Structure 1
Amino acid sequence: MRIVVTGGFGFLGQQVTDALLARRTLCGAPVDRLLLADRRVPAAAPVADHPLVDVVQGDLSERLDDVFRQPVDVVIHLASAVSAECESDFDLGMSANLDTTRALLDAARAQSAAGGPTPRVVFSSSIAVYGSDPAAPLPPVVDEWTLPTPQSSYGMQKRVCEQLIAEYTRRGFVDGRVARLMTVAVRPGEPNAAASGFLSGIIREPLSGLAATCPVDPGLRVALASPRRTVEGILRITEAVRGSGPGALEGGLPVNLPGLTVTVAGMLRRVAGDAVADLVTVAPDPAVEAIVGSWPASFDGARATALGLRPDDSFESVVKAYIEDHPEAIATGTTGP
């Protein structure tokens, strides 16, 4: 089986890659080759030298011939411009998220039309597809039957891609699956341009002894998932057999991955005590709050539950997992919740 991970050197791409290399199987078949496609490849990237790994560097829309030079069985499409940068640069978001995804789908379609395997394309969407429209306000609890009315360019681009994948699947061009991701926290490393990035920063930075800024009302409710649960969900949706009943992927609807509902204030006081949480300063940013505040915080997880997925046990468990996975990023003397 030849698997392509777009955005393969991004945070989630690395997590998915590590999981696949640890498992060495997907969909009941051995992983023969794993191609990581990304605009940037870090100079120090040991995985690039792994005997099963190939690397394609550059703009994905310009490198698709190289990606599909050999038959592709599965594409896990994680490459994306993120929320705040899509809001500040409309053309970037349209190109990186919408145009590139359509080009990828067309390359997969061409492979199938030429007699090759019909690729299984797994798309990482987002709860940003939801938003409260005056004519269709969000219900208190959201599920996959809730009408998506995105209130950001990023959310709109993800929603259009969902519909493209549904149409290409209906026509038999690809076997498309859509996983709607919650905000993933806690992410290690440098902050990115995602509007929700502060939800990692207000935990990550204090745990490393650094100050951080919270740009929203601490009473804001948000839905989170740990990296571990997110990767688990992506791979489970990739492997699910189409059909009905427990463990099967029924119909063409996206799957909202399980989320843990918390308040920002609740996150802060559960980090490692008041002294660490006091490193966070609240400084409202209306642009960030407008985006993140438009996303729902409570979900009916029946569709994910049917696939055997579950949310994190608690926010404390999310922080403990981060500390276990990234001990080098924790300041001396800091303890977990």
Structure 2
Amino acid sequence: MKVLIIGGGGVVGQKLAQQLARRGTLRGDNISGLVLADVVDPAPVDAPFDVETVTCDIANAASVAQIVTADVDVIYLLAAIVSAHAEEDFDAGWQINMMGTMNVLERARALETKPVVVFTSSIAVFGGEVPDPIVDHTLLNPQTSYGAQKAVGELLINDYSRKGFVDGRGFRLPTISVRPGKPNRAASSFMSSILREPLNGEEAICPVDDDFLHYYLSPRKCVENLIKGAEIPEQDLGMNRCMMMPGRMWSIRELVDAMTAVAGPEPARLIRWEAQPDIQKIVNGWRFDLRPEKAIKLGLEADDSFEDNIRYYIEDDKPGA
């Protein structure tokens, strides 16, 4: 069993690689090799099997051909430029997020090996004049370029799977929080930074009101779900291979209260509340009443509480922990 993680240098890609190294198996087989690919050389992970790190530009078909080889059994397609970046740079968003997905699928089709492809989509595919609640078969109606690019990716995953070129499955990720590291260019980046930085003793800015509701999942649960998602039997996926990954709805105030319950009152005092209309415009276009029934039936899970998300960050990622 050889596994390829495209986007293997990112937070989720690295955590996924580490968990696969601990497990040693996927889809009932021993993992014999793991390739971590990203636009910059990913950090290696220690594993009881061969691990290779490579650079790849998924917008370049020739670069994709170097990493998607006939011996790859499972491809995790995690690479993307994130929401605010894709909105600012229209051309780069479509080249990387849409054409990059097409390049990976086209390479798999040419090889005729039908790998499992696990594609990470986004809840940004929903929006606009779509009634609540949002269920697995609600019309995709993205209100950002990033959401539109992910929606096209979902259609490609479904069609290439229908034709038998790949065994695809796509999961619309909730906002992953609390993410380690530095803020990125995602519009949702503040949903980690307002917790991560205060937990690390640093000031953070919250650009929305404390009653802002959103849909969250911890990095730990996200990785568990991506592994379960790869292991779902093809026949159980049905005629729509793409679904919401389970998460839970919480307000910003509930996130801060959870941090206070776990870490005491001091971190919350480091949050500055400053409205940022450009961020508010993007996140207000995302829809909130999400019902991930299909994924739950297939065994994927949400966090029990946001206090768990805080604890996971302290246990797994807080500097010096």
| Same fold per superposition (TM over 0.5) | yes
Instruction: Please tell me whether residue 255 in structure 1 is matched to residue 243 in structure 2.
Output: yes
Deviation of 1:223 (Å): 0.4
Q: How far did 1:225 drift?
A: 0.1
In structure 2, C-alpha distance between the alignment counterparts of 1:11 and 1:324, rounded to whole Å? 16
- Alignment match, 1:290: 281
Paired with 2:257 and 2:196, the residues of 1 have a C-alpha distance of 13
Shift of the 67–207 alpha-carbon distance from structure 1 to 2, 3 Å rule, reads: same
The answer for the alignment partner of 1:333 in structure 2 is: none
Partner of 1:58: 56
Q: TM-score, normalised by structure 2?
A: 0.94
Residues in 2 aligned to 1:198 and 1:69: alpha-carbon distance in whole angstroms:
38
Q: Structure 1 residues 208, 22: CA separation in 2 closer, same or farther (over 3 Å shift)?
A: same
After superposition, give the CA deviation of every residue in 1:256-306 in whole Å (9 maximum; x if it has no partner): 111111001221222134432121111111221122222222322321111
Amino acid aligned to 1:57: T
- Following superposition, the deviation at residue 326 of structure 1 comes to 2.1
Partner of 2:226: 234
Calculate the TM-score normalised by the size of structure 1. Answer: 0.89
* Residue matched to 1:15: 15
From 289, 295, 305, give the equivalent of 2:296: 305
Whole-angstrom CA distance in 2 between matches of 1:252 and 1:160 = 14
CA 56–152 in structure 1, closer or farther in 2 if over 3 Å, else same: same
Question: What residue number does 1:131 align with?
Answer: 127
Cα distance in structure 2, aligned partners of 1:168 and 1:234? 20
Q: Give the superposition deviation at 1:317.
A: 1.1
Residues in 1 aligned to 2:47 and 2:29: alpha-carbon distance in whole angstroms = 23
For residues 243 and 279 of structure 2, what CA distance do their matches in structure 1 show? 26
- Displacement after TM superposition at 1:68 (Å): 2.9
Match of 2:164, SS? coil
Who is 1:269 aligned against? 257
Aligned residues with identical type, % of pairs: 40
Hey, what does 1:220 align to over in structure 2? 212
Gap runs ≥5 in structure 1? 331-337
Structure 2: distance between partners of 1:9 and 1:48:
14
Q: Is the 8 A contact 2:22 2:47 kept in 1?
A: no
**Aligned equivalents of 2:5, 2:26: Cα separation in 1:** 13
Equivalent-residue separation in structure 2 for 1:316 and 1:49 (angstroms): 31
- Correspondence for 1:187 among 167, 179, 193: 179
2:158·2:242 contact (CA, 8 Å) conserved in 1?
Answer: no
The 3-state SS of whatever aligns with 1:195 is: coil
- Partner AA of 1:146 in structure 2: T
Secondary structure at the aligned position of 2:193 is classed as helix
Count of paired positions: 316
Q: By how many angstroms is 1:149 displaced?
A: 0.5
- State which drifts further: 64-73 or 7-16: 64-73
Question: Which one-letter code corresponds to 2:173 in the other structure?
Answer: L
